[in-house]
Structure 1
Amino acid sequence: MNIKRQLTLRFVLHSVTAGLVVLLIAACTIWWVMERMNDVRLQNNFYSVGLERLVESSQFGEDGVIFDPELLEQVRKNNGWLQSLNEEGEVEKSYNTPSDVPKQYAPGELIAYWQGQKEFPYGLYLWIQEKNGVLYTLLYGVPKNLEPLLKTLMKSSPSYSEGRLQLPEGLADRMYAKKGYVQLIDSSGAELASFNRPSSVPDHYNVQELALRSEYGDRYGYDISSAYDEDTSLTWVIGLPLNANIYSAQEFFISAETRIIWTGAAIMLIATLIIFALLSLLNAHRFGGPMLHMLAWLDSLGKSSFKEPADRKGQPRSRMKSGKWRRRYRVFGDVMLSIDKLSDSLQREQETRRQTEILREEWISGITHDLKTPLSSIKGYAHLLAEAEYEWSPLEVRKFSAIMLEKSAHIDTLISDLAISYRIRNGITPPLTEEIELNGWLANALDQAAANPAYGEGRIIYQAAPKEIRVHLYTPWLERIVNNLTANALLHNSPDTKLTVTLTGDMGKGMMIHFSDNGQGMDQRTVSNLFERYYRGGNTSASTDGSGLGLAVSKGLTEAMGGRIVVKSGLGKGTSIWLIWS
C-alpha cells in the first residue's frame, strides 16, 4: 500500500472515529437532558408524572406492592406524602405520611377531600390505574401553602400606597422567607400595588394570562392563587416559587428546562471541541512529528550531514533498538527509505568528489612536473645552442635538435590529451568515418607502434581474425586508442612483458579487439579508477611518462564511436582490455 492510500485511510479512520464519538456524545447528552427534564417534571408535577411512573415501576413482593425508592425519595423532596388504597379505602402502603392524615377513607369522604368540599390541610391528587389485573389507587398529598397565606392576607386587609403593599410584619417575613410575592390588581387586570414581585411576573393580566398561570404554574416557575373581592372588584394574587432554586426578583428568570437545554448544549459543544482538540494533537503527534523529522533530515543533508537526526541516546528517531520502524513512522516508511538512499548517494557523491579533487590535484601536480621536465630540457639545449663562446659541430647540433624535438612532441602529446579529455567530457561526435579492412589496418598500426624504441623489439604479438572485417570508424581516433593501450601495457610493466592483440568478429555481427599482457597486473582499486581522468596507478614502479589521461581518452573515444571498453586484471595475473562493438 502506497503512502497516499495509507494517509487517506488513516485520516478517514480518524474522521469516522471522531464522528462516531461525537454521535455518542450527542446521544448521551440527549439522554441526560431527557433525564433532567423528567426530574424537573417530577419535581414540579409529581402528581401528573410521578404517580404514573410509580404504578409502572411497581412490583409485588412478600409484603405487598413495592414502589421505586427513587420516586419515593422525590415525594419526600417535594415535602409530600403518599398512600396506596385498596377498594375499601384502607391504606395498604404509605410513605412520609403526617399523623393528621387519615388511614382509611369512606368513598364520599375521599371525594370531599379531593374536590375541596371538606376542609383538609393538604392538596390532594388522586391516581387510579390498572396494571396486571390489579387496580392501583394512589393518593398524593402536599401541604397547602397558598390557601393559608391567602386567607391570612385577606383577614389582615393590608394597606397600600404608591404601588407598594404594606403587609403585617409576620406575613411579610413569611413571604420573604418563601421568596413569594403578592399583587393587588383592579378590574381591568392592571396592578395597583405589589409586594416582593419578581421582574418575571407581569404587572398586568388579562383573563387568559391569569387563568394559564393559575392552572399551569410549572410553565412559569410559580404556583399562584387568587381571590376576588366582590365589594371592591379587586383581585388578590399570591405566588410562591415551585422550587428553592428560583431566582430572586432582581435576577433575570430562566426556567429549569431552559437551563438544562443550555447546559446539555454546552456540555456537547465542549466535549466535541475536546474530541477534535485531542484528534488534532494525535494527528500532530502521529503525522506532524515524522514530517518535521524528515524536514530536519533534509535540512541536515543540505548542510552535508548525512546521518539521520538522533535522539538524546544517539538512536535514530524513526527506529527502535531492534532496527524496526517506530509505530508513527511506519506510514512514512517508503519516504524514509528514499531519504536514506538519497543520504547514502549524496555521501558517496561527496566522497567521490573529494577523491576526484585529490586526484585532480595530484594530476595537476604531475602534469606540471611532466611539462616542466621537457621544457627544462628544451630551455637548456636552447641556451647551449645560443651560447656564443662555444662552436658546436653539426653532429652536436643535430643531437641537441633531436632531443628538443622529442621533448616538444612530449609536450604536444600532453596538451593534446588534455584538450581531447575536456572535449570528451563535453560530448563529441566523430568526424566523417571511412570504411577500412580492420585486419590489415590494425596490423599496420601495431607495426608503427612497435617501432617506438622505448618499447623494445618483439614485445607485440598480433593475432588477426580468420576472415576479412570491414567497418566504418574514424581511424585517427582508433589509432590514438591503440597507441594509448599499447603504451600503457609496455611502458608500465617490466621489459620482458608481452602484449598480445587479438581481433575477432563477423561482418554485420560486431567485432572485438582484445589487448592482453602478462605483466604485473593491478589491484581492484586501480582497476575501478583506471579510466578516471586524474588517476595514475601507483602499484608499479614503471615510468611516469605520459599525461595520466591516456586511458580516460581511450574510453571516451571508444564510446564516442559507439563501442565500449572492458578491463579485467589482478595482481600478478596481467591485464586484459577489450574494445567491443556489437
Structure 2
Amino acid sequence: MKSLRRRLIWHFSIQFITLTITIIVIVFALLFLLLQHLADEEVKRNFPVGVLENITIETTIENNIANIDEKWEARLKQRNMWLQIINHKGEVIGSINSPTTLPKTYTVNDILQIEETKQFHEYTVLAEIDDTYEHPMIYVIGYKDKQQNMLEELVATYSTKGKISKINKEELEKKLSQINGSLHIIDEHGKIIFAAGNPMKKRKYDPLDILSQKMMPGTYSTVTATYDDPYSNQTWILHTPKNKEKYEKLSILEELLIGFGLIGAFFLLITLSLSFWNGFRYGRPLLLFTSWLERMEQGNYDEVLTTKERKKIFRKNGKIKTHYRLYKEVINAFYAMAEKLDSSVKERAKLEKTREEWMTGISHDLRTPLSTIQGYGHLLESGQYHWSQEELEEMGQTIREKGEYMLHLIEDFSLAFQLKNNELHLAKETLEVNQLLAAITSKFIHDRTLQDYHFHFEPIMKQVEIEADRKWFERMMDNLIFNAIKHNPSGTTVTIRVSHSKDGLHIWIKDNGVGMDEDTMEQLFERYYRGTNTDERMEGAGLGMSIAKQIATLHDAIVNVRSQVGKGTIVDIHFLRD
C-alpha cells in the first residue's frame, strides 16, 4: 500500500498544482482578452482618432522604414481611409491604402495646411506627431468625408446668405428624405432654430455635444457633420444613420464591470463544476467498494463485480479506466481477497465432500479385509471343522494378503501426512535411468497377478544419470504404473519410455486403455480422489497419484497427463535440465 499512498500524494499534489496554474493562466488570458476588447471598443468609439493613436503607439521604425501591423490595413481599407507616415524631411516612409494622387514627399506648406485646415486635396485628414525617435515623425490619416461634402452641398444649394426659403425648404425635405437624414440649425447658444428631415427628440445642444460626436463617433447611432455659416453665425448639423454599424452606449467603466462580472461568473461555474466532478469522481469508487463489502458480507465471493460495474471500471481490452486507475491496488486487492475467500469456501466444501466420500470408501476398504480375517478367525476358533493342510495354507495366505493391504493403506496415510507437512527427506544418489526403470518394469512383468497385462520398456540410446532417492523414486513409478493397471481392463499394454530433449529428461508411462474424461484428469492428483469405478480392484485410499506427484516435485520434476476417452492415457514425468 506504500505505492498507493505515494500515488495518492502525487496525484492530489499534481492536481492542485495543475489546477492552480490553469486558473492563473485562465485569469491572465481572460484579463488580456478583456483589455483587448476594451481597447478595440475604445478605438471604435474614437474612430479615426483612436486608430491614429494606436497606430502611432504600435508602429516601429527601423532604417527609415515604418513597420505597420497588418490588422490596421484591413480596418483602414474597410473604412476607405488611408495612412501615411512622414519623416522629418517630408518623405513618406510608410503607407496603407494610399491613393496615387498623394505625393511621396511633402513640403512645409503641405504640412501646415494639413495642421491648420484638416484638409488635403479632397480628403479630410487627421495628424499626430511621434517624437519618440531622434527626429519627429508625423502620422496622417485621410478619408473622403462624404457627410461633410453632402452638408456643404446642401448649404450651397438651399441657403441664401444663411436663410432657407419656403421653396428651398420643401426641396431640402425631399433631399433629406432620400438619405434618411436630419438637419438642425442652431444658434450660438445651442438652441435649435430650424429642423428638417427625420424628427429627433433633441431640443438643444450642450457645448460639448458636437465635439463629443466628432471625437467619439462610435458611441452614437448617427454620423454627424457640421458647417459654420459665416453669414448668420449659425451652425448647420447633419445627422445620417450608420449603415449596419454597431454603436456602443456603454462606458468604459460599465464594460469593465461587466467584464469582471462575467469572469467571476465563469470562475463560479468552473468551481461548481470541479466540485461536482471531484465529488462524482472520488465518491463513485467509494460507493462501488461499499457494494463489494455488502456482497462479501452476504458470502457472495464469486461475484466481486456485477456486469454493470465491470463495464464501468474496465475497458474492452481488460485495462482499468482512467478515472478508476487511482484505486488500482485497492481494486486488485479486493479481487485477490474475494478470489481467496471464494477459493477457500469452495475448497472447504469440496474437501468436506471428498472427505465424506473418502471416509465411506475407507470404511468399506477396511471393513472388507477385516470381515474376511474375522470370518476365518471364527471358523478356526470354533473347532467344528477339520481343515486340510492345503486349506489352512490358503486361509493363512488370505489373512496375510488382507493384512498387507491394510498395512499398505496405513502407510499411505502416514506418507501423505509427511508429504503435506514437508517432513519427507530424500537421500539422493546418482542413478542410471535405463537400469533403474528396467528393474521397475521387470518387477511388473514377473508379477503373476498381472499376467493379463502387457508391459514394455523402451530405453534411451545413451547413458543418462539423475539424482534421485531410489526408494521414493520407485514408489512414485509404482503408483503411476499401478494406476494405469487398476483403471484399465485386462489386455491393456503399459509402455515405459525414456527420452531426452533440450528442456530436460522425460519419462513416459503410456497405456492403450479406456482413457479419462476432463473432469477425471482435473482431479487425478487430488488427495482422496478414487475415480468412479466401483470394481474391487479400485480399492485404496485415493492417495496414490497425489503421493506420486508430490514425490516428483521433491525430485524437481513436473508431472503432466494427456488422455482421451477410448484411446488411453500418457503420463509425462519431466525432469527439468539443471
**TM-score normalised per structure 2:** 0.52
Find the residue that maps to 1:319 and give its secondary structure: helix
- Residue equivalent to 1:281: 276
Residue identity in the other structure for 1:501: I
How far apart are residue 342 of structure 1 and its match?
4.5
Find the residue that maps to 2:394 and give its secondary structure: helix
Distance 1:375 1:11 in 2: 80
Which residue of the other structure, out of 313, 319, 324, is the alignment partner of 1:332? 324
Q: Does the Cα contact within 8 Å between 1:439 and 1:465 map onto a contact in 2? A: yes
- Residue equivalent to 1:556: 550
- Residue equivalent to 1:401: 396
Distance 1:368 1:135 in 2: 130
- Residue equivalent to 2:566: 572
Distance 1:339 1:448 in 2: 53
User: 1:413 aligned to 2:405?
Assistant: no
User: Within 5 Å, which residues of 2 pair with 1:46-195?
Assistant: 88-89=188-189, 91=191
Residue identity in the other structure for 1:304: N
Distance 2:531 2:16 in 1: 59
- Residue equivalent to 2:254: none
Number of residues of Structure 1 aligned to a counterpart in Structure 2: 390
Distance 1:497 1:482 in 2: 18
How far apart are residue 269 of structure 1 and its match?
8.9
1:547 to 1:307, Cα distance in 2 relative to 1, 3 A? closer
1:521 to 1:542, Cα distance in 2 relative to 1, 3 A? farther
How far apart are residue 88 of structure 1 and its match?
4.4
Distance 2:507 2:190 in 1: 129
How far apart are residue 410 of structure 1 and its match?
1.2
Residue identity in the other structure for 2:285: P
Q: Does the Cα contact within 8 Å between 1:455 and 1:491 map onto a contact in 2? A: no
- Residue equivalent to 1:307: 303
Which residue of the other structure, out of 433, 458, 480, is the alignment partner of 1:438? 433
- Residue equivalent to 1:369: 364
Offset from partner CA, 1:400-446 (integer Å, 9 cap, x none): 33222211211121122222223222335543223333333332223
Distance 1:8 1:126 in 2: 59
Find the residue that maps to 1:496 and give its secondary structure: coil
Which residue of the other structure, out of 528, 540, 561, is the alignment partner of 2:522? 528
1:7 to 1:349, Cα distance in 2 relative to 1, 3 A? farther
Offset from partner CA, 1:6-57 (integer Å, 9 cap, x none): 88777666555666677799999999xxxxxxxxxxxxxxxxxxxxxxxxxx
1:563 to 1:97, Cα distance in 2 relative to 1, 3 A? closer
Distance 1:97 1:487 in 2: 122
- Residue equivalent to 2:507: 513
Residue identity in the other structure for 1:384: L
Distance 2:275 2:336 in 1: 31
How far apart are residue 479 of structure 1 and its match?
1.4
Q: Does the Cα contact within 8 Å between 2:281 and 2:323 map onto a contact in 1? A: no
Q: Does the Cα contact within 8 Å between 1:436 and 1:471 map onto a contact in 2? A: yes
Distance 1:457 1:129 in 2: 130
User: Within 5 Å, which residues of 2 pair with 1:213-362?
Assistant: 276-297=271-292, 299-301=294-296, 303-307=299-303, 316-317=308-309, 319=311, 330-332=322-324, 335=328, 338=332, 342=336, 345=339, 351=346, 354-362=349-357
CA RMSD of aligned residues (A): 5.5
Distance 1:271 1:505 in 2: 77
- Residue equivalent to 1:49: none
1:318 to 1:27, Cα distance in 2 relative to 1, 3 A? farther
User: Within 5 Å, which residues of 2 pair with 1:407-486?
Assistant: 407-428=402-423, 430-456=425-451, 459-486=454-481
How far apart are residue 365 of structure 1 and its match?
2.2
How far apart are residue 563 of structure 1 and its match?
1.6
Find the residue that maps to 1:551 and give its secondary structure: helix
1:361 to 1:85, Cα distance in 2 relative to 1, 3 A? farther
Find the residue that maps to 1:555 and give its secondary structure: helix
How far apart are residue 550 of structure 1 and its match?
0.6
Q: Does the Cα contact within 8 Å between 2:304 and 2:338 map onto a contact in 1? A: no
Distance 1:470 1:316 in 2: 58
Q: Does the Cα contact within 8 Å between 1:29 and 1:267 map onto a contact in 2? A: no
Distance 2:227 2:308 in 1: 79
Q: Does the Cα contact within 8 Å between 2:453 and 2:490 map onto a contact in 1? A: no
Q: Which runs of 5+ in 1 are unaligned?
A: 32-59, 65-83, 104-123, 137-263
1:288 to 1:18, Cα distance in 2 relative to 1, 3 A? farther
Find the residue that maps to 1:316 and give its secondary structure: helix
Q: Which runs of 5+ in 2 are unaligned?
A: 37-146, 153-183, 216-224, 229-258
**TM-score normalised per structure 1:** 0.52
Q: Does the Cα contact within 8 Å between 1:530 and 1:551 map onto a contact in 2? A: yes
